[in-house]
Amino acid sequence: MRVVILGAGFGGLELASRLSEDWGERIDVVLIDKSDSFVMGFSKLDVMFGRATADSVRHPYSAIVKPGVRFVKAEVRSIDPAARRVETDAGTFDADILVVALGADLDPAATPGLVEDGHEFYTNEGAFAVRDVLADFSGGRVVVGVTSTPFKCPPAPSETALMVHDFLADRGLGEKSDVSLVMPFGAPVPPSPEASRALLSAFEERGITWYPNRVVKELDPARHVVVMRDGEELPYDLFLGVPAHVVPQVVAESGMCRDGWIPVDSLTLETEYPGVYAIGDVTSVGTPKAGVFSEGQGAVVAEEISSQLRGDPQAGSYGGRGVCYTEFGRDGVGLVDVTFLQGERPTGAFTGPSHDFIEAKTEFGSSRITRWFGRDWS
């Protein structure tokens, strides 16, 4: 069986690793990505705030040595889901099972003024550049803001607001600075009231101003003012933004999307095309766009493929659960355990924040790198 996986992010790497572990050379897995390395989502914040260097958080795909798996560095140029055929700049690939795991692309230019006068911190380049911007910043009004929904890792703007506050305070710039957070939700982590309460109290403790249920419409570079969708304005000296999210263009052109994202069966992750699955941020499966959910969906598709290979109709079924570590700046790290089941209200438990979870979060990241790349990351 030939499985072609488009995208070697959280979802694609988990799926390829599981298939290799279960089937070794008895399966033919082609894993395609246009990048030459993987960067974990939360590593962007580590680089931004000077905890890690950009080089130390890049994991080269050339390190992947897994029985049955071939990594191909190529840009996917077209997807024909009915024929399960993919054109790339490194040739054409036909699949028995095709899995689209191409994530969400970011479009900073969709928000007027963001590219000219703000800084997005959601791409690797953007986040790595903010490291230098912060190093040169001499204090002032900082606005962290979200420009549209859906967006990846819903806690990340709250984490950023706390971390930027503590970063400036540690540099003696706290008195000269204030931090505001503009979020499209009524609570920082809507499915977890406990996590939201903990974040709101951390904001209050630090004097961070919280603007719920607002979206940044544009920046006015001439006046250094954020304009929100409801018309309210907020002046800034430094704007750190979450840009608009869209499917990669090749996915938009494939005809697989409805309402901007790929619809899938919420239990099996199969698309409306037989033998074609989609996992992670590229889908509208109903879970937040976060690595832990992409990973869980990759595991379910691996189980589905293994069942087909065994001729066993009993496949895995997606449970919508994700456990996320959330940064609380100097207070350490909190643990949010959320479950999104179709037709049910999402639930979320919260523990922390605590310094004990710092090590657990490091272990979470390094265990993935060891499993996916076969190398230590310390």
Ligand X SMILES: Cc1cc2nc3c(=O)[nH]c(=O)nc-3n(C[C@H](O)[C@H](O)[C@H](O)COP(=O)(O)OP(=O)(O)OC[C@H]3O[C@@H](n4cnc5c(N)ncnc54)[C@H](O)[C@@H]3O)c2cc1C
- Residues of this chain that bind ligand X (CB under 6 A): 7-12, 32-35, 41-42, 44-45, 75-76, 101-103, 122, 152-153, 156, 248, 250, 280-281, 289-292, 294, 324-325
Least distance in angstroms from the C-beta of 75 to ligand X: 4
Least distance in angstroms from the C-beta of 356 to ligand X: 17
CA distance 202 to 162: 8
Least distance in angstroms from the C-beta of 186 to ligand X: 21
CA distance 135 to 129: 10
Least distance in angstroms from the C-beta of 314 to ligand X: 26
Q: What are phi and psi of 239, to 5 degrees?
A: -110, 125
DSSP codes joined into one string, 200-227: HHHHHHHT-EEETT--EEEEETTTTEEE
The residue (of 57 and 224) whose beta carbon lies closer to ligand X is 57
What residues have CB less than 8 Å from 370, skipping those under 6 apart? 376, 377
Least distance in angstroms from the C-beta of 134 to ligand X: 14
1 is written with which tokens?
A: 């069986």
Cross-strand bridge partners of residue 349:
337
Least distance in angstroms from the C-beta of 261 to ligand X: 11
**Helix axes of 10-23 and 291-310: crossing angle, nearest 10 degrees:** 30
The residue (of 11 and 316) whose beta carbon lies closer to ligand X is 11
The residue (of 40 and 208) whose beta carbon lies closer to ligand X is 40
Residue type, 88: T
CA distance 292 to 282: 14
DSSP letter at 262?
B
The residue (of 178 and 281) whose beta carbon lies closer to ligand X is 281
297 is written with which tokens?
A: 């969906």
The residue (of 216 and 224) whose beta carbon lies closer to ligand X is 216
DSSP letter at 287?
S
Least distance in angstroms from the C-beta of 224 to ligand X: 24
Least distance in angstroms from the C-beta of 74 to ligand X: 6
CA distance 244 to 109: 8
Nearest residue to the partner ligand X, using Cβ: 9
The residue (of 12 and 113) whose beta carbon lies closer to ligand X is 12
Closest CA to 302 of 269, 274, 324: 269
The residue (of 192 and 224) whose beta carbon lies closer to ligand X is 192
CA distance 163 to 46: 10
The residue (of 266 and 294) whose beta carbon lies closer to ligand X is 294
Q: Residue 117 CA to chain centroid, in angstroms?
A: 24
How many C-alpha atoms does 138 have within 13 Å on its Cβ side? 0
In this structure, the dihedral spanned by the alpha carbons of residues 328, 334, 340 and 346, taken in order and rounded to 10 degrees, is -80
The answer to whether 199 and 189 have CB atoms below 8 angstroms apart is yes
The answer to whether 333 and 357 have CB atoms below 8 angstroms apart is yes
Least distance in angstroms from the C-beta of 5 to ligand X: 10
The residue (of 224 and 368) whose beta carbon lies closer to ligand X is 368
The residue (of 8 and 234) whose beta carbon lies closer to ligand X is 8
What are the angstrom distances between the C-alpha of 22 and each of 15, 19, 66? 11, 5, 11
Least distance in angstroms from the C-beta of 76 to ligand X: 4
